Structure 1
Amino acid sequence: MLKEIAGHYSTRARAKRAELLCKHIAVRPEDRVLDLGGGTGNHFHSIFPNHRKVVIADVLEDDLKLAREKYGYETVQLPDGDESLPFTDKEFDVVFCSSVLEHVTGPKEDVEWTKDGPHFEAVGREHQFAFATEIRRIAKRYYVQTPYRYFIIESHSWLPGIIVFLPRPALVHLLRFMNKFWPKQTSPDWRLLTIGEFSQMFPDAIIEREKSLGFIKSLMAIKA
C-alpha cells in the first residue's frame, strides 16, 4: 500500500516538474539533448516522447541497453565516481538531469556505507560542485533537479526528514536496520543539498522551489 501511494505521489510530482521545465525551456526538434543519469530513458521519454536527438548518459550499462533498444536513444556509459564528463564545451543544446546530483558523492565503494561523516561531507561536496561545473560547461541550456535537504520526508528512504540531522554513524546503522523490513530500501550514498549550496553550484540559473504539503520538496536550477 505504501509503495502504491508513493508511486502515485511521485508520478504527480514529476508531471508538475515537467510542466515547469517546458514553461522555461522549449526543446526544439533540432536540439541535441543530454539526459544525464537518465538510466533507461523512461523519464525523459515520458516528457518528450517525440524528441529523437537524445543522448542518455549513465553508469549502468544494463539501463543504457534498454534505452537503446526501447527508444533508439544514443547512449554513453560514464565511469562511477568520476564527475568529469566526456563531452566538449557547449556540446548540448539542453542538458536534463533529474534526481542525480545528490548521488554524485564519489566512488561508491568508498562512500556508500562509510561511517566517517566529515570525510563523506567533504568528498561529497567536492564531487557535487565539480559535477555542477561540468554541467554548466557542456550545456547551452540546462535543467537540474534535486531533492531538498529539509523536506519533511527523506525521499530515498521514505523516513521522516529529521534523519538528515543524525550523525553519519547513526544514519548508516538506522538504514541497515530499516532495510531489513521497510518497503523503501536505500544505501546512504546521497548527500542532500540546501538552497544556498545549490544556488552556488548554478549561479547562472533560475532556482525554482517545488513545494508539497506547504514545504519545499525539491530544487530546480534552470538556465533557459
Structure 2
Amino acid sequence: MPLTRTLARRLVNYQDSRCLGARLRRARLEPLLGMIQRLSAKGEPVRLLDIGGTEQYWRIVPESFLSEHRVEITIANPAPHKRDTGRGHFRQLKADGCNLSLCDDHSFHLVHSNSVIEHVGDWQRMRRFAAEIARVGQGYFVQTPHYWFPIEPHCMTPCFHWLPRPWQLALVQRFALGNWKQATNLDAAIATVDSARLLNTPMMAALFPDGELHYERIAGWPKSILALRQPPLS
C-alpha cells in the first residue's frame, strides 16, 4: 500500500531529524540522559551497553554531551552494522542480546535497548533478553512499541497487529506495508509477521519486575512502554 510506505518514510525516517519519529525519540531519551548526568557526577566514565543499536542512532545525542559526561558506548549485535566504526565513543561487541556471557554481572552502569525486545523471538527468548539486561546492567532503559497503540509501527498499518493471523499473512503477501516488503510466498509472510511481537503492560511488568514502567503517548494513546531501573550512585 503506497500510503503505508509514505507514512513510514515521513514518520519513522530517523535519518531525518525533522520527522515525527526522530523528535519523539529525542524526547524519549530524556530520562536516560538524566541517568547519565547523575552517574557522571561521580567523576568516572559512564559505561553504557546498547543492545541491538547503531552508531547512527546516537547522533540524536549531541557529541558534546557524550564528551562532557565521558560516555563509553558498547554496541552489541550478532554482526556489526556496516556503517559502525567502533571509534570515538563507541566499541563493538559481537553478541546475541539473549546471551551476554562475555559480560560480567553489573559490568555496565546502564543498559539501553530501543525497539529490540519485540524482535528477539518467542516469550522464552524475551525472558532471556530481559534477564541478561538486568544482570549486566546496574541500571537500564528499555523501550518497546505498545501493543495497544492502533498503528503497527513496523508496517504502519492501522490495527494490523489486532487482526486474525490468516488476515495478516494474506495482507503481507498482497502488499508492501510500511517498512515491510511484499512477501513472495507463505513462508516469507510468516517470517515477516513473526519478526515483530508487540508487548503490553503486563508482559513488560513480568519481564522487568524491578523496573518502573513509563509511557510515551500520542493524543493520549500509549505509543510505547519504557522500563527504567535507576543505577545506584554509591
TM-score by length of 2: 0.77
Larger Rg belongs to: 2
Corresponding residue for residue 138 of structure 2: 140
What is the aligned-residue RMSD (CA, Å)?
Answer: 2.1
Query: Where do residues 1-224 of structure 1 align in structure 2 (5 Å cutoff)?
Result: 2=7, 3-7=9-13, 8-26=19-37, 27-28=39-40, 30-39=45-54, 41-47=55-61, 49=63, 50=66, 51-61=70-80, 63=81, 65-68=82-85, 71=88, 73-79=90-96, 83-85=98-100, 86-105=102-121, 124-160=122-158, 162-179=159-176, 182-185=177-180, 187-188=192-193, 189-224=195-230
- Alpha-carbon distance in structure 2 between the residues aligned to 1:57 and 1:33: 11
Q: Measure how far apart 1:200 and its partner are.
A: 1.1
Compared with structure 1, are the counterparts of its residues 5 and 129 closer, same or farther at alpha carbon in structure 2 (3 Å cutoff)?
Answer: closer
CA distance in 2, matches of 1:6, 1:74: 26
Q: Deviations over 1:111-138 (max 9, x none)?
A: xxxxxxxxxxxxx111101110110011
Deviation, structure 1 residue 84: 1.5
Distance in 1 separating the partners of 2:178 and 2:224: 22
- For 1:31 and 1:6, how far apart are their aligned partners in 2? 29
Distance in 1 between residues matched to 2:160 and 2:52, nearest whole Å: 26
In the TM superposition, what whole-angstrom CA distance separates every residue of 1:110-167 from its partner, at most 9, and x where no partner exists?
xxxxxxxxxxxxxx1111011101100110011000000110111011000x222223
1:5 Cα deviation from its structure 2 partner = 4.2
Rounded Cα–Cα distance in structure 2 between residues aligned with 1:91 and 1:194? 29
For structure 1, the residue ranges without an aligned partner over 5 or more in a row are: 106-123
Contact kept, 8 Å, 1:35 with 1:44, in 2: the verdict is: no
How much does 1:173 deviate?
2.5
Residue 144 of structure 1 contacts residue 222 of structure 1 at CA under 8 Å; is this kept in 2?
A: yes
Structure 2 Cα separation of the partners of residues 130 and 168 of structure 1: 26
Distance in 2 of aligned mates of 1:48 and 1:75: 20
Q: Which amino acid aligns with 2:21?
A: S
Aligned residue identity for 1:185: W
Alignment CA distance shift 1:73-1:23 (3 Å): closer
Contact 1:24 1:222 in 2 (8 A): no
Q: 8 Å contact 2:151–2:160 — kept in the other structure?
A: no
Per-residue CA deviation, residues 3-32 of structure 1 (Å, 9 max, x unaligned), is 224431101110110123224553525111
Secondary structure in 2 aligned to 1:68? coil
Partner secondary structure for residue 21 of structure 2: helix
Secondary structure, in 3 states, of the residue corresponding to 1:44? helix
How many percent identity over aligned positions? 28
Structure 2 gap segments, 5+ residues each: 1-5, 14-18, 182-191
